[in-house]
Amino acid sequence: MSPVFTRREFCAIAVASVALGASCGLKQGTGRLTARPRNGVKTSASGQITLGLDRDRDAILRLPPAAGESPLPLFVMLHGATQSADDMFWYLDSASDEAGVAVLAPNSRDTTWDAIGGGGFGGFGVDVDFLDRALKRVFETTAIDPARISIGGFSDGASYAISLGLINGDLFHSIVAFSPGFVIDGTASPVRPRIFISHGTHDRILPIDGCGRRIASSLKGRGYDVTFREFDGDHEIPADVAREGLRWVLDKTS
């Protein structure tokens, strides 16, 4: 039976998870994604589209108003525990449209992401498979710039985004983690993505000392290029931080 940890205990294993890499944890899968952008694809939709991959917990793609024939940057945004894909567009508000970024927000198969269950020992599985399907659909219908694909998320989604981003550095060139708790161990890609982490100094759910600061310090110690943004706030994504994260994505991948 997998162990069950509180949110505070998640933070306590953050450094161990980052440092040990693939040496611990019971993974159903590797966390590797196979979907890749295609050449010659023309964007065939506009606005906000539900992909139609699942009747109950689908994925949503939002394209910026100015989307034309040129390949777009893509930002994959993962929700927190008990949240949904729709909540991510509430957090981002108009920031993605202003930045000219396409956003893919999938729903986890359960109330949070598979490997988050049991304090990071639940194993990668159905959520990675669904994300791969969602990405393949996007790449079939939307012109995406392969040099400007990023993954991010909030809370549990941020923990999952960092973890998948490190494993899939050959796909995701940037990671944006808003208030992460820990990193799930896995085999890191030899291609190292750049990382933006934000965290509120008064976070009562995932305290900054045991989570954001420790994760940032550990990743920097492993040689990753990490931008760490502290803000005066709780467990949240302030509008200015969301905009800063998206601007950072474009700055780092342009």
Indicate the DSSP class of residue 71: P
User: What does pTM read for this prediction?
Assistant: 0.88
pLDDT at 252: 61
Q: Give me the pLDDT at residue 3, please.
A: 33
Which one, of 56, 48, 55, lies nearest residue 77 by Cα?
48
| Number of Cα atoms under 13 Å in the Cβ half of residue 188 | 19
Tell me if 64 sits within 8 A of 212, measured CB to CB. Answer: no
Per DSSP, the three-state class of 97 is: helix
- Per-residue pLDDT of the chain (254 residues), as tens digits, is 233 344 545 554 444 444 433 333 333 589 999 999 999 898 877 789 999 999 889 999 999 887 667 899 999 999 999 999 999 999 998 888 888 899 999 999 999 999 887 554 558 999 999 999 999 999 999 999 999 999 999 999 999 999 999 999 999 999 999 999 999 989 999 999 999 999 999 999 999 999 999 999 999 999 999 999 999 999 999 999 999 999 998 886 54
Q: Is residue 225 a contact partner of residue 240, using CB atoms and an 8 Å limit? A: no
The amino acid present at 61, given as its one-letter code, is L
What the chain holds in terms of domains, given with CATH numbers, is 7-34+43-253 (3.40.50.1820)
pLDDT at residue 151, rounded to an integer: 98
Round to whole Å and give the CA distance between 30 and 230. 31
